[in-house]
Amino acid sequence: MITELPGVRVGHWTDPAARTGCTVVLLPRRTVASGEVRGGAPGTREWDLLAPERMAPHVDAVVLSGGSAFGLAACDGVARWCEERGIGLETPAGCVPIVVGAVLFDLGVGDPSVRPGPEAGYAAADAATGGAVAIGTVGAGTGATVGKWRGADAAQPAGIGTASERQDGLIVSALMAVNAFGDVVEASGAGGRPRPAPGPDARWPEAGATFGALESTTIGMVVTNAALTKAGCFLVAQSGHDGLARAIEPAHTTVDGDAIVAAALGEVEAPVDLVRFLAARAVAEAVRSTAGPPATGS
């Protein structure tokens, strides 16, 4: 669970009637972070500052939200919550919170007129704790579904999930909101279930498709207690996408805006490749914790 890392807090805001919500991850001061987007339909805020060559030294909060592009407004509420508490980058003009956001498309499953906004983001930040994290159809996972490549009628509820991997004193945890075009699949090998093959009724996105009922996206973050640079965090985010591709099939399609932030708390010395190895595993297990068994037919 991601909150087993000291100082990491998670809070949800959920509207079960409208089937949408948002999730906020509050990070300890001076947490280093980077991230990577894959897939063809991303929705993000402040993502450029995560690049290793950018000057932003840390990230204060990460927002995962439903509501498609409208849901990015939830970040404004988190920024206000942080500012009120003096959390952010110190500048001559005052404190500027560094809040990174990513959204998924859930407008087609509930009330599309209801989207997480500033008040929802503020409420999720205010609810954040270091205790147990609710998973499933809560927060950013409230309206999340998977298996949409089979057609809208075949989509199954998914949600938000979390998992951790450890080696000695190293901890790598993931929190993922899974709203994928593909299916959640189990690990291959002994005990793994066969992965269904695409059938003649598969609803593959048309060439050039950007918006519509098939719009999907899996978003989330990896947090580790390792000491990493921004460049190291970028590599960990890349490996997080490897884990996503292990647990979702197909992944990173033109209608998925898959985005992962990777953050390092700087408490434990560890090889970056070991962190990457554990990150891929943690993301895959976090994804699998959100959904039931994969479909067995096409």
Q: What is the CATH number for 246?
A: 3.60.70.12
pLDDT value of position 153: 77
Helix (H) or strand (E) holding 123: helix 118-127
- Asked if residue 297 is part of any domain, the answer here is no
Give Cα separations from 5 to 10, 165, 220 (angstroms): 11, 12, 16
Q: Which residue has the tokens 């500027």?
A: 96
pLDDT digits (tens, 9 = 90+) for 156-201: 899 999 999 999 999 999 999 999 999 998 875 434 444 555 555 5
Q: Give the domain extent around 41.
A: 2-288
Low-confidence ranges of the chain (pLDDT < 50): 189-194, 208-213, 292-298
pLDDT digits (tens, 9 = 90+) for 119-164: 999 999 999 999 999 999 999 999 999 988 877 778 889 999 999 9
- Asked if residue 161 is part of any domain, the answer here is yes
- Asked if residue 29 is part of any domain, the answer here is yes
Task: Yes or no: say if 40 and 257 are a contact pair by the CB < 8 Å rule.
Answer: yes
Q: Which residue has the tokens 């001061």?
A: 29
- Asked if residue 19 is part of any domain, the answer here is yes
Amino acid at 117: G
Number of domains making up the chain? 1
C-alpha R_g of the chain: 18
DSSP-derived secondary structure letter, 144? -
- Measure the CA–CA gap between 76 and 216, rounded to whole angstroms: 23
Phi and psi at residue 4, to the nearest 5° = -75, -15
Amino acid at 123: A
In the three-class reduction of DSSP (H, G, I as helix; E, B as strand; rest coil), residue 237 is classed as helix
Q: What contacts 211, CB < 8 A, 6 or more positions away?
A: 41
pLDDT value of position 18: 94
Phi and psi at residue 83, to the nearest 5° = -60, -40
Amino acid at 259: A
Specify the pairing of strand 259-268 against strand 218-226.
parallel
- Measure the CA–CA gap between 274 and 224, rounded to whole angstroms: 11
- Asked if residue 295 is part of any domain, the answer here is no
- Asked if residue 294 is part of any domain, the answer here is no
- Asked if residue 165 is part of any domain, the answer here is yes
Give Cα separations from 123 to 100, 110, 127 (angstroms): 17, 21, 6
- Measure the CA–CA gap between 178 and 217, rounded to whole angstroms: 7
pLDDT value of position 190: 39
In the three-class reduction of DSSP (H, G, I as helix; E, B as strand; rest coil), residue 150 is classed as helix
pLDDT value of position 193: 46
pLDDT value of position 206: 57
- Asked if residue 298 is part of any domain, the answer here is no
153 C-beta neighbours (distance < 10 Å), count: 7
pLDDT value of position 212: 46
